[in-house]
Amino acid sequence: MTVRPVVRLAAAALLLGALTTLPGCAAMSVKPWDRDLLSERKMSFNPLPMHMALDDHVYFSKEGSMGGQSVGGGGCGCN
């Protein structure tokens, strides 16, 4: 029984794709000398509080809802 060339090509492409994405799954850790870069203000979820406040105001003005961007709450009044 012979394997069709199309099936062989598809299997090779699948294997090549799996082998090229495998290094992306390697476990990475943060080195001690890189931790200072991750603790900078620009790396936080909310680096610019004034921009967040302006975005909240725009969302409230346009959508009529308030909250939902951070920890809890929403516009439905159910909590």
Q: What DSSP string describes 4-56?
A: PHHHHHHHHHHHHHHHHHGGGGS-----GGGHHHHTSGGGSS-S-HHHHHHHH
Q: What is the mean pLDDT of the segment spanning 50-68? A: 75
Count of domains forming the chain: 1
Res 78: pLDDT:
56
pLDDT for residue 28: 73
- What's the whole-number mean pLDDT along residues 56-72? 67
Q: What is the CA radius of gyration of the chain?
A: 24
**Structural domain boundaries, residue 62:** 29-69
Report yes or no on 75 lying in a domain: no
Can you tell me whether residue 3 is helix, strand or coil?
coil
| Distance, first Cα to last Cα, the chain | 66
41 found inside a domain = yes
**pLDDT-derived band at 76, boundaries 50, 70, 90:** low
| Residue 45 placed within a domain | yes
**Alpha-carbon gap, residue 18 to 25, rounded angstroms:** 11
